[in-house]
Amino acid sequence: MHNSTESVVVLSSVQLSSTGTYRCEVSGEAPFFETVTDHQKMTVVALPEEGPKISGGRPRYQVGDTVRVNCTSGKSKPAAQLNWMINGEPADPKFLKGPETVTLGREGLESSILGLEFVVRHKHFKRGNMKLKCLATIATLYLVSNEESVEGERPQKASVLESRGTAAPSGSRADRVQAASSQGSFFLNASLSALCYVLLYMSSR
């Protein structure tokens, strides 16, 4: 308190145990010695050393799947307040599970856990993605968020080999060309055979 003045009290190296009600008293001079007092509660806050963590999620979801995820805040005093957002919008309160507050260690630091559970609908996907964000706050002193982006299942495309292996319909142009080619070969072979027979006959005479 060495930096304190008549109107300002400076506390240094405060601990969580420094939380409490502080009173200021001002006394007037003689001859009346009037006294005025006022008090105010001071809360010492221990902020989290790490941001909120999201657990239980999957990299991909499809319509009809159930999302079950948890958000856990870092250790602090008091515990952080958690909120869920889906694609930038506050999650429906009926999707929330909790919150639950857990006390950790001898220092009495606390961690909050808030669950989110809902069935995936088409509206939850924006351009094929769904963004889940957890926001942790402590009064106006602390505001940190964590966001995960998950993909929607995409329909599988037909196999290229399968489409290439499709047979041409009966009576197609390919069949007609092949048939015409076969007939041309037959007539050519027949003509050559007749010519050879004539030549052999003339030679024998």
Could you tell me which residues come within 8 angstroms of residue 200 by beta carbon, excluding any fewer than 6 positions away? none
| Contact of 52 with 72, CB cutoff 8 Å | yes
Residue 173 token pair: 């142009």
Residue 34 CA, chain-centre distance (Å), reads 63
18 vs 119, higher pLDDT:
119
pLDDT (tens digit per residue) in 91-122 = 999 999 999 999 987 888 999 999 999 999 99
Q: Which residue in this structure is represented by tokens 């952080």?
A: 80
| Distance between CA atoms of residues 186 and 188, nearest Å | 5
Whole-model pTM: value is 0.64
Which pLDDT score is estimated for 2? 65
pLDDT (tens digit per residue) in 124-176 = 998 889 999 999 999 999 999 999 998 876 655 544 434 344 444 445 444 54
